[in-house]
Structure 1
Amino acid sequence: MKISITKALVLSVLMIGFTFQVQAQETPKFASPLQTGHYIPGIISIRDFADPAPASGLVLLDYNIFLSGDKYFNKNGEEVTEFESPTGADIALNPDVSGYINNPVLMWVAKQKVLGATFLTGISIAYNTVNADIAYNRSGIIEGSNQEGSSNSNVSGFSDFNVMPVYLSWGLKEFDITAGYMFYAPTGEYTPGGNNNTGLGYWSNIFQVFTYYYPMKVKGETSKALAVMFAPTYEIIGKIKDVEVVPGNRLSLDYGVDMYFTEKLSVGVFGGNNWQVGNDTGSGVYWDGSIKDKNGIVGGQVGYWLWTNRLQAIGKFGSTYGSKQRLKQNYFQINLTFMTNALTGNKAAKTSSSK
């Protein structure tokens, strides 16, 4: 049975739309106090980082992600619906944010082993479309200035560029272990306080370890039909450009169980959590930088090989829970994986053997 090796790490469209324009007449523009980091758990499919061997060559991916959110939860995990403004008037918070991400990914899987592992490398860049309509009073959401207003924006454009220089995947008898490093470059549109941002405005360095356990036995031999996945991710975040703000580093967990019922059909359940573990720092932090947001996600997926071992489609649905200082979001995905069989190294191997 061929195992897919899809990979797509994308921005949270909901947070991009939820920027809260903050501008003062005699001061520079401010950064948004709502930061998610580049890595969002639950977006990847369960077996994306399983050892792809013996597959090799170029792999083309297309992730289609539809997101929506209409509830905001404060630092205490309480849903916020209205505030009392500094003037004493009640102001409703009415977030209505929806978005679509198309994230094409190009990956290459080496045929030769490196340190006994399969070597993977790749690049990706997402195109985001966001519709956001928000009325707010900042003092009721974030510890900081007493500002109120509304934001209505329809934004689209390319997000930040993602590079995966090296991932190594070891295929063991009952386990697969994949470790790697990636970074995001702030190539997307970003202006502090802007309402047309499609990027996050900072560099991220991300380190990951994915572990897969295959507990099923068939005639005494390990079967990969059933996979249990657990993966921590640590993200180191750089300074936001044009402002003196460094968002706190983040820790994420992905986990899931996926079962093949036939050689083509698989069904799985997944979860994920994302925590801010470091304080927001810098002279541009006008909110309480010690307040840390968090978010959880749970959902299910169904995969089917439309073309055996060449083209796979995965449908996913997920919903967040336990949110603090974050929007609650729902999303639906259609992920496509195409094994091109290009640049596999097989031709070179045949030429060599014939001499």
Structure 2
Amino acid sequence: MKKLFTLLLTVSLYFSAFSQGHYTGSSFNPGDYFAPHPGLIIPVWYGFANMDYHNAAGNKSDQLINPAPGNPTSLKIAQNVKTHSFILMAIYGGKGKILGANWGMMAIPMLNSPTANIALDYYSSQTGSGTYVFTNKSIGFGDMYVQPVWLSWAKGKFSYAVNYGFWAPTGRYKPHDLDNGGHGYWSHNIRVAGRVEPADKVTVSLATTVELNSWQHDTDFKEGSHLTVDLGGTYLLSKRGDQVGIFSHYTSQISDDKGTNGGFVSDRIAGVGGFVSYWITPMKVGLMGRITQNFGAKNRFAGTAVQAGVNILIPSH
């Protein structure tokens, strides 16, 4: 069971769909914190997100309270932001062991419309009172995620993993610009994860991710760090590797923003969702769909995100 589960690396992402910082909880399926079997995996995905702004009280609001120096006390904003993303990934499972662990690497370039997070950045950077409407419909390259450290160890029914990845500011960024496709800063993700198989065909995983952000290009602003806890489980439907699963996450800001620009308000968000995967050609071509619903958001955009895509697996013999 574990071999079938591990071979299907079902990374399904909607990074930056509604969060501050780069990493969004529930971006990975429960088994995707653990290194894949040797070979190359090429997932191709489309994602759609429908988000509304939630204020410090956790309610949907058209008022963005922004106490940053030089900015207005509040802004009237367009509450709803819809985003589209196209994601092409390159995932490699290496042969042999590193420190006794299975290992891999991944790279994820993004092609997307400006996300709700970028909308929030745009709103919070305004320096005049009035109404601001985010109506950009352009599509361009976003920031790129690279995970050069992806190690996992297995012992009996237990597995453990350590991941390090970074977000490079490859997306277009210009201060206060509506056409931005990226955030204009580097982010570093440090993750530890564990997994157990409590019953036949069933696995449960828990992962903790800390995201550390650099200073934003050409502005006096540094996004605070965030801590995300992801919890999920899967059930194997067949010997060919088809499966269903559920996942959840909780994200909270754990350090203050720095500088003289930006929102300067702490944020948090939680979410639940599920996925289903099906192999068209066992262990070669597979389909997947997933949906995530967020709740408990404060000082963030939150809502529903849907993804669908194809996974192409080229095993290493």
Which residue type is aligned with residue 40 of structure 1? T
Mean alpha-carbon deviation: is it higher for 108-117 or for 235-244?
108-117
| 1:96 corresponding residue in structure 2 | 80
Q: 2:224 aligns with which of 244, 248, 252?
A: 248
CA positional deviation for 1:44: 1.4
- Cα pair 1:129 1:156 within 8 Å, conserved: yes
Q: Which moved more, 1:291-300 or 1:233-242?
A: 291-300
Equivalent position amino acid for 1:73 in 2: H
Deviation string 1:46-70 (CA, Å, 9 cap, x unpaired) is: 2212353xx312111122211112x
Residue number among 273, 289, 306 corresponding to 1:332 in the alignment: 306
In the alignment, what sits opposite 1:226?
202
Aligned counterpart, 1:304: 278
Q: Which stretch shows the higher mean deviation, 238-247 or 253-262?
A: 253-262
5+ residue gaps, structure 1, are 16-35, 85-89, 217-222, 347-355
Compare CA radii of gyration and give the structure with the larger one. 1
Structure 1 partner of 2:94: 110
Match for residue 142 of structure 2? 159
Supply the distance in 2 between the matched residues of 1:206 and 1:326 (Cα, whole angstroms). 20
Indicate how the Cα distance of structure 1 residues 83 and 156 shifts in structure 2: closer, same or farther if over 3 A, else same.
closer
Give the RMSD, CA atoms, in angstroms.
2.7
Q: Give a deviation string over 1:150-174, Cα, whole Å, max 9, x none.
A: 2222121011122111111112211
Query: Matched residues in 2 for 1:116 and 1:305: separation?
Result: 30
Quick one: which amino acid aligns to residue 11 of structure 1? F
Q: 4+ residue stretches of structure 1 with deviation over 3 A?
A: 6-11, 81-84, 90-94, 141-146
Q: Within 5 Å, which residues of 2 pair with 1:91-240?
A: 93-130=77-114, 147-151=129-133, 152-216=135-199, 223=200, 225-240=201-216
Q: Where in structure 2 are there 5+ consecutive unaligned residues?
A: 66-73
Q: Aligned pair in 2 of structure 1 residues 83, 320: CA closer, same or farther (>3 Å)?
A: closer
Change (3 A) 1:239 1:81: closer
Residue by residue over 1:172-215, the C-alpha shift from the partner in whole angstroms, topping out at 9 and shown as x without a partner, is: 21111111111111110011111111101101111011211101
What's the TM-score, normalizing by structure 2? Answer: 0.86
Partner of 1:219: none
Structure 2 CA distance for aligned equivalents of residues 305 and 334 of structure 1: 14
Give the TM-score normalised by the residue count of structure 1: 0.77
Number of equivalences? 300
Distance in 1, Cα, partners of 2:64 & 2:48: 30
Q: Is 1:75 matched up with 2:56? A: yes
CA distance in 2, matches of 1:115, 1:103: 31
Aligned to 1:5: 9
Task: Determine helix, strand or coil for the equivalent of 1:112.
Answer: coil
Query: 2-side partners of 1:51 and 1:240: how far apart?
Result: 31
Contact 1:10 1:126 in 2 (8 A): no
**For residue 291 of structure 2, what is the amino acid of its counterpart?**
F
1:39–1:83: structure 2 CA closer, same or farther, 3 Å change rule? closer
Secondary structure class of the residue paired with 1:236: strand
Aligned 8 A contact 1:178 1:210 in 2: yes
Q: Over residues 72-115 of structure 1, what are the superposed CA-to-partner deviations in whole Å (9 max), with x where a residue is unaligned? A: 2111212224699xxxxx99654231111111111111111111
Corresponding residue SS for 1:180? strand
Q: Is the 8 A contact 2:75 2:131 kept in 1?
A: no
